[in-house]
Amino acid sequence: MDQNIRAFLGIDFTEEVKDEIHELQQNLKGYALKGRWKGRDNFHLTLKFLAQISFAQKAQIDESLQSLCRKEKPFNLELKGLGVFGGKESCRVLWLGLAGDMQDLRSLHKKVDQVLTPLGFPPERRPFSPHITLGQDIVFAGGFEEIQAKVGGFEFTPTHVERIHLFKSEQVQFKRIYTKLADYSLG
């Protein structure tokens, strides 16, 4: 890792859960006129976007997060509910929400912010709004509430969160690719 890399911290999902999310996404695509859809392998929950990091910063991040995560206990999340962020003509971000041990998730997010601030990664100004992005700039053939009703209820395999990951984010042949650089086990 000679140069800086674009990176973020996040929670990954099992292949089974990614398949379930993908199935929902494919169903939603059937009601969309256009949009940019996330690739199946890119489904994740972002804990903190770091922007550009250096090799020296990665070593500091590794040390800080290994220390933090050893003190944290694993927890459970459920994927639940669809929502959108912004946009008048289109859904700026179409997302899947979360339920389960949300207090544990919010606490972990806050502690990650606290340990990374001294390393030059200030806390996000916006409130933490945990979600899984399904697509961006989506234009549906109908109102969002109407599409939600058509898609109906859906259930996902519960997710047991035992680690968080440092991901590298890069553009490869016009596609966004996320690669795990490190993982930090909880407990």
One of 22, 109, 131, 160 is an active-site residue; which one? 131
- Quick one: which of 132, 113, 170 has its CA closest to 11? 132
44 is catalytic: yes
**Residue 41 phi, psi (nearest 5):** -70, -10
Angle between helices 144-151 and 15-29 (to 10 degrees): 120
One of 44, 109, 160, 165 is an active-site residue; which one? 44
Using a 10 angstrom Cβ sphere, with 0-12 exposed, 13-18 middle and 19 or more buried, the burial of residue 126 is exposed
131 is catalytic: yes
Say if CB 133 and CB 38 are below 8 A apart: yes
The residues annotated as belonging to the active site are: 44, 131
